[in-house]
Structure 1
Amino acid sequence: MEADVLVVGFGAAGACAALQAASQGLRVLAIDRFTGGGTTAISGGVVYAGGGTSVQRAAGVRDSVEAMEEYLRAEVGEAVSAETLHRFCAGSAEDIDWLAGHGVPFEPTPCPFKTSYPNDRYYLYHSGSELAHDPQAPPRGHRAHAPGTSGKALYAPLAAAARKAGVRLRGQTRATGLIVRDGVVRGVRCRTLESAPALVRRAHRVLAGYAAKPGVYAPPLRRRLGKLITALESRYGTEVELTAGHGVILASGTFNANRRMLGEHVERFRGSLPLGTIADDGSSVRLGEQAGAATKAMDRVSVWRFITPPSAFTKGTLIDSAGELLCGANRYGAAIGSELLRRTDGRGWLIVDEPLLREARGQIRAEAVWFQRMQFEFLVRRKGVSAPSRAALAARIGVAPEQLPESTHPMHAFDISLRPHLLYPWPMLTLGGLAVDEESGAVLDGQARPIPGLFAAGRAAAGICAHSYVSGLSIADCVFSGRRAARAVATTLAKN
């Protein structure tokens, strides 16, 4: 049966697009290289939302669309127009209710301290640099309610709701090309394992699972597993054509796992920890380019260098290798990483005195989860320089004494440089993608004209977070842009 809309990629953006389309009466077929979930399922499961969401209200937190928009304007820059940013903020509370209505669990317990990711006692937190912008800013990081990292708790209900709504998912099916007839995108050519032996399909699923985790933390392992997966697809896959009567929505993520594309577009990525799964191979961009699509912000990346928890470190001082102020220590980790990336050598120090370090040690057990405790111990035990005075510390790290904060106590400098290490990695996420019309999500060609029948959502498209990133903004944009594209397809169908 021909579908009205075909969704390529079934992570957060694809699931939201499919679910929205199905709710508007469209016949939806989704395909995924694996079995769905993508990077969303291995993420922290955080949605950046505000303006007075039901979760914020239940937590006794006051927020407004205007306050959210004012903060994000500084983060988003020129990634999208002011009108699009306003629509995103104005619809934020409704998006949270829409997610909750489809089973995504949220919990209104605000985190009382600044952290890169809250422990299992807290599910609403300051996930960006809001407190540096306004000390009274409300928390907007809505973490799905589940122990550990909460990505699966966010994705699984969406996938279940989509299936219940009639969305058909063909897993282990990889899009290889677009079907274009009379200038209109009518479907995709695919390579699928649906007819492969059961043992091959099982091996493909198992390898993909290990490539996602622990592969995300070990890029060499992920690459080796990726080669095995590709070999299975090449040997046992069969070619099929899938058509869609009214639209194809590309939603297969970033190009973090494509080293060739990284080399072409990203100046500095070697030594980083590219986030995502091996399905983040830039396939949506390559498919779009086959139809003449333009791209945007392909050189933009988000690099993360977290120093919290412990929250006491937000009172420290961040400097570069020349002793110049890096940025405020209460900024989000991506803002700190961005400032380090701007420095030619990528080097920097966190400066604290002895009382502040004692305060930090007293906080770490209550504030951190296991991997945060591990990073803290690595930072203070392996990456620290100590001295009895400001002058002595300055001499040891090669800066002028007056560039360091004053203190009558022993002082410490912790090396936060962008250097590869398994226990203190610097994660990286590409932010650019296909250029799209901001009202419909239609993919644009080189003359900024919509390509008939082709849409993009999530990190396959340049969207809200194409300039900079705060935790939860990517998934929030997946919801926003996925639903936007589905509405546009439904509108096209209604007009016809």
Structure 2
Amino acid sequence: MTAQDRTFDAEFDVVVVGSGVAALFGAAAAASRGLSTCLIEKTDRFGGTSAYSGGAVWLPGNAVLARDGVDDSVEKGRTYFRAVVGDRTDRDVQDAFLNTGPAVVTFLQEELGIPTRFQAFPDYFDAPGRQEQGRSIYPKPIKGEEVGDRAADVRPPVPADQFGAAEDTTRLEGGRAWVARLVLALDAMDSAETRLNTAAQELVRDEDGRVIGVAVDGEGGRRLLGARRGVLVAAGGFERSGELRHRWQQMPTADWSSSHPDTGSGDAVRMFEHVGAQLDLLDQSWWCPATLFPNGHAAFTLGFRSGFIVDGTGRRFADELLPYDQMGRRMRARMADGAGDEFWLIFDDAEAGNFPAICIPAPEPDQLREAGLWHTAGSVDELAAATGLDAAALQESLERFNGFAEQGRDADFARGEDPYGRFFLGVSTAEQCLRPVGGDRLHAVRLVLGDLGTKGGAVIDANGAVLDTEGRPIPGLYAAGNSSASVSGEAYPGPGVPLGSGMAMAFRAVADMAGEPLPIAP
């Protein structure tokens, strides 16, 4: 909409849309400069999908890595990032992200006082510059008593948020620790205001096309919030919009995303479309295998300790220990090739019949059996009949996998040969990642193609400014996080790239709004 008279219900220097880590960090960067800042979140909780994350932040060559004994540099990170991402995204934007990382961490520590630490988690690709122990930093956990009443405003973990488990606020870790610490930092700033239950509806422009505010719907009804310096949209993607997922990604449902149903509904990308922004990577997500639950939701699953995965044809198609985005892409490729959207993890009683992978919440066998999502049988033929898989193909997959396990080498997909695969199993050799499947009982649990959010959105420049379809910055409009087209393109280079790039580009966006644009090079 265009505000002819520019009459606003409230005016700020900066309005931030969203409340994930990128949005909160951007708001803190603005308010710390003395810019009056209003952050709006459409739900009743801060955090978005960031609150579900493990909290990794991928920023090469930062001071925390050096302090904790990790031999890394921005240049080493650039070598790796370039090798993985290539020219799929603008090199100036790549450099802006990578070169800004150290400053982001310095601001976290020295300005916001947020304690951080290194934690091992391997980079995802075997490429030059890779760190096998990783280069990700994490927030230190925070006790609920330190967060106080604000703990009730932080989005709870997946089990409590989507599966009815009791909410525990005694200790906040990972992404929730980032969210809590950043919310507390904003609370301590006189120039910052936060509003829950306030949904952005459309961007407000002046007669020259500059974005000067946001129309919102909140507890007081429709309001216009003015933004003298700019609007930063970091409101997530469109992973929970069935219409947009079908339109751009041909996904059969939006229910398999790990995000909460009330978040990631595509508000940001619709606002961008309305003002003529250039969009990219709309067919892309941060993919992952996911376990399907009776309520129709699916939970992010990784670290398969035993068993193997087959597609709808009953055939194995990938190394089950691939980094989750890469495994998800193998699943997506099989769907595109006509294998259907059903996948099954086949395993035995080696772990007393328990689910041999990391999944939160842990699948409850009886509940999944009742829903037809977990089958137990005494033979391959019985299991095939229960799942609808081809018995001959399933038998062949089992025998071939067992043959590789006996030889100690997966000749088809090299399972366990990459350090990432061994990391989650806590083993040192590929042979330890291969164990025959057999015994008196076999199990099959339904898996689907899930995601940690979409990664397509507005194309931004090195200052985080949203570009129009002609490649020109739209004055007053900025984007970060999953509302922007990811700087990593179609790849997921390492743990924490989504949060790290979101924070870096939000930091640059605020500097540009303040009239202090950061250089691309150090």
CA distance in 2, matches of 1:383, 1:75: 41
**CA shift digits 1:400-439 (9 cap, x unpaired):** 966874454983289999745xxxx8345211011222x1
**CA shift digits 1:100-137 (9 cap, x unpaired):** 342433334xxxxxxxxxxxxxxx13254256888862
Q: What corresponds to 1:478 in structure 2?
A: 502
SS in 2 for 1:239: strand
SS in 1 for 2:102: helix
SS in 2 for 1:29: strand
Summarize the Cα distance change of 1:254–1:396 in structure 2 as closer, same or farther, 3 Å threshold: closer
Mapping of residues 327-366 of structure 1, within 5 Å: 327-343=318-334, 344=337, 345=339
Q: Give the deviation of 1:458 after TM superposition.
A: 1.2
Summarize the Cα distance change of 1:394–1:173 in structure 2 as closer, same or farther, 3 Å threshold: same
Q: Give the deviation of 1:450 after TM superposition.
A: 1.4
Q: Which of the numbers 477, 488, 494 marks the counterpart of 2:512?
A: 488
Percent identity between the two aligned chains: 24
Q: What corresponds to 1:397 in structure 2?
A: 395
Summarize the Cα distance change of 1:27–1:483 in structure 2 as closer, same or farther, 3 Å threshold: same
**CA shift digits 1:350-380 (9 cap, x unpaired):** 799x9xx96x89x999x968746879xx99x
Q: What corresponds to 2:40 in structure 1?
A: 31
Q: Give the conservation status (yes or no) of the 8 Å contact 1:53–1:92.
A: yes
Q: Give the deviation of 1:164 after TM superposition.
A: 2.2
Q: What corresponds to 2:269 in structure 1?
A: 285
Q: Give the deviation of 1:34 after TM superposition.
A: 2.9
Summarize the Cα distance change of 1:133–1:394 in structure 2 as closer, same or farther, 3 Å threshold: farther
Q: Give the conservation status (yes or no) of the 8 Å contact 2:79–2:128.
A: no
Q: Report whether the alignment pairs 1:450 with 2:473.
A: yes
Q: What corresponds to 2:99 in structure 1?
A: 90
Q: Report whether the alignment pairs 1:20 with 2:29.
A: yes
The structure whose residues are more often helix, as a share, is 1
Q: Report whether the alignment pairs 1:170 with 2:198.
A: no
Q: Give the deviation of 1:62 after TM superposition.
A: 1.9
SS in 2 for 1:2: strand
CA distance in 1, matches of 2:378, 2:100: 48
Q: Report whether the alignment pairs 1:107 with 2:117.
A: yes
Q: Which of the numbers 228, 236, 244 marks the counterpart of 1:245?
A: 228
Summarize the Cα distance change of 1:72–1:303 in structure 2 as closer, same or farther, 3 Å threshold: same
CA distance in 1, matches of 2:77, 2:402: 34
Q: What corresponds to 1:192 in structure 2?
A: 218
CA distance in 1, matches of 2:114, 2:327: 31
Amino acid at match of 1:257: R
**CA shift digits 1:324-368 (9 cap, x unpaired):** 88444542111111111101325667799x9xx96x89x999x96
Q: Report whether the alignment pairs 1:156 with 2:180.
A: yes
Q: Give the conservation status (yes or no) of the 8 Å contact 1:297–1:466.
A: yes
Summarize the Cα distance change of 1:335–1:41 in structure 2 as closer, same or farther, 3 Å threshold: closer
Number of residue pairs matched by the alignment: 417
Q: Give the deviation of 1:396 after TM superposition.
A: 4.2
Summarize the Cα distance change of 1:382–1:12 in structure 2 as closer, same or farther, 3 Å threshold: same
Q: Give the deviation of 1:74 after TM superposition.
A: 4.4
**CA shift digits 1:452-496 (9 cap, x unpaired):** 1111111111122442334322111220121111111112799xx
Amino acid at match of 1:252: A
SS in 1 for 2:115: coil
Mapping of residues 4-403 of structure 1, within 5 Å: 4-35=13-44, 37-40=46-49, 42-101=51-110, 102-108=112-118, 124-126=119-121, 128-130=123-125, 137-146=132-141, 149-165=173-189, 166-182=191-207, 183-194=209-220, 238-270=221-253, 273-277=256-260, 278-305=262-289, 308-309=302-303, 326-343=317-334, 344=337, 345=339, 371=361, 382=375, 396-399=394-397
Q: Give the deviation of 1:176 after TM superposition.
A: 1.4
Q: What corresponds to 1:209 in structure 2?
A: none
SS in 2 for 1:178: strand
Q: Give the conservation status (yes or no) of the 8 Å contact 2:70–2:135.
A: no
CA distance in 2, matches of 1:434, 1:142: 27
SS in 2 for 1:246: strand
Q: What corresponds to 1:198 in structure 2?
A: none
Q: What corresponds to 1:226 in structure 2?
A: none
CA distance in 1, matches of 2:59, 2:213: 37
CA distance in 1, matches of 2:75, 2:454: 28
Summarize the Cα distance change of 1:167–1:131 in structure 2 as closer, same or farther, 3 Å threshold: same
CA distance in 1, matches of 2:444, 2:88: 28
Q: Give the conservation status (yes or no) of the 8 Å contact 2:398–2:437.
A: no
Q: TM-score, normalised by structure 2?
A: 0.67
Q: Provide structure 1 residue ranges, at least 5 long, that are not aligned to the other structure.
A: 109-123, 195-237, 388-392
Q: Which of the numbers 423, 426, 441 marks the counterpart of 2:450?
A: 426
CA distance in 2, matches of 1:490, 1:416: 56
Summarize the Cα distance change of 1:483–1:270 in structure 2 as closer, same or farther, 3 Å threshold: same
CA distance in 1, matches of 2:478, 2:507: 11
Q: Give the deviation of 1:42 after TM superposition.
A: 2.6
CA distance in 2, matches of 1:443, 1:136: 32
Q: Give the deviation of 1:79 after TM superposition.
A: 4.4
Q: Give the conservation status (yes or no) of the 8 Å contact 1:351–1:411.
A: no
Q: Give the deviation of 1:76 after TM superposition.
A: 3.2
**CA shift digits 1:132-169 (9 cap, x unpaired):** 88886232233333357522211111122223232122
SS in 1 for 2:476: strand
Q: Report whether the alignment pairs 1:463 with 2:501.
A: no
